[in-house]
């Protein structure tokens, strides 16, 4: 099964650029989209013609903000967030077999201290919820824009960004904690210390210079390690300031 995640930073804009033409080559069974910036009534008709059997969406109360969408070719039970009051449309949970698959647009903490606090609280609530699922023997897959680079290798200029939200010690420590609770960063598990990024600022010609950050992830629980066959970053795919990331996994 091939699973791909992409923060599109505005779904309608990507559709207008024919930004999903690459799907015919990579043929994912699941596509998790973040930052759709629309409600269900505004979903472009082209999305329904991408070849997926199922579509789920979670939109923010605030118009033109946040939002996640999942397209998939397998039956599942879908929930919006079960661990926090999700007025910002950040979470979709898909339960099938003994697996819970999450498509999440994690908060950005760069605006101010209040948003950083919100981000850290979101992290904490989510990890506590994952622990409960694991107690019930659920296997876990998490994909999405985590809005934090984990290690110095995961961004071009770590020292210059050490006091910037997205690379703060306290944010990076949450990823450490997630891994210590029995989760795997799939890209690192497969690719080792390969340098690759998934987000580039629109400023300063950053993408052309490859001055980027790896902030989009697939995490899996340890009990799926043997099922993981590949992990990849599709840096050649344009249309957003992020590129798609994905895994191949036997399920």
Which structure tokens are listed for 16? Answer: 């207008």
- Beta strands across the sheet bearing 99-105: 77-80, 91-96, 99-105, 139-145, 216-221, 183-185
Closest CA to 154 of 101, 233, 220: 233
Q: Any catalytic annotation for residue 145?
A: yes
Q: Look at the chain and count its residues.
A: 251
Which structure tokens are listed for 60? Answer: 């923010």
At 193-223, the pLDDT tens digits run 999 999 999 999 999 999 999 999 999 999 9
Q: Contact 92/78 with Cβ under 8 angstroms?
A: yes
At 107-157, the pLDDT tens digits run 999 999 999 999 999 999 999 999 999 999 999 999 999 999 999 999 999
Q: How confident is the model at residue 35 (pLDDT cuts 50, 70, 90)?
A: very high
Q: What is the β-pairing status of strands 139-145 and 183-185?
A: unpaired
Number of alpha helices (DSSP H) and beta strands (DSSP E) in the chain: 6, 14
pTM (predicted TM-score): 0.98
User: What structural domains does the chain harbor?
Assistant: 2-249 (3.60.10.10)
Options 86, 145, 154, 216, the catalytic residue: 145
- Residue 41 makes CB contacts below 8 A (sequence gap 6+) with none
Greatest CA separation found in the chain?
48
DSSP string, 57-68: EE--SSTTS--E
Note the pLDDT of residue 83.
97
């Amino acid at each position: 099964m091939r699973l791909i995640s992409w923060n599109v930073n505005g779904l309608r804009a990507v559709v207008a650029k024919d930004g999903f033409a690459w799907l015919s080559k990579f043929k994912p069974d699941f596509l998790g989209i973040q930052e759709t910036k629309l409600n269900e009534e505004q979903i472009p008709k082209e999305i329904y013609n991408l070849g997926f059997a199922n579509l789920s969406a979670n939109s923010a109360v605030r118009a033109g903000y946040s939002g996640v969408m999942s397209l998939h070719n397998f039956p599942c039970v879908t929930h919006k967030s079960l661990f926090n009051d999700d007025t910002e449309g950040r979470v979709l949970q898909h339960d099938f077999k003994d697996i819970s698959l999450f498509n999440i647009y994690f908060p950005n903490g760069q605006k101010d201290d209040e948003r950083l606090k919100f981000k850290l609280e979101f992290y904490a609530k989510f990890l506590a919820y994952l622990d409960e699922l694991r107690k019930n023997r659920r296997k876990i897959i998490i994909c999405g824009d985590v809005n934090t680079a984990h290690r110095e290798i995961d961004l071009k200029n770590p020292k210059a960004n050490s006091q910037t939200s997205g690379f703060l010690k306290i944010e990076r420590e949450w990823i450490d904690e997630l891994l210590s609770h029995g989760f795997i960063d799939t890209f690192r598990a497969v690719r080792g210390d390969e340098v690759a990024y998934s987000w580039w600022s629109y400023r300063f010609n950053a993408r052309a210079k490859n001055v980027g950050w790896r902030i989009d992830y697939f995490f899996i629980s340890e009990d799926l390690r043997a099922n993981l066959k590949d992990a990849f970053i599709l840096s050649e795919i344009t249309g957003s300031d992020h590129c798609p990331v994905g895994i191949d996994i036997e399920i």
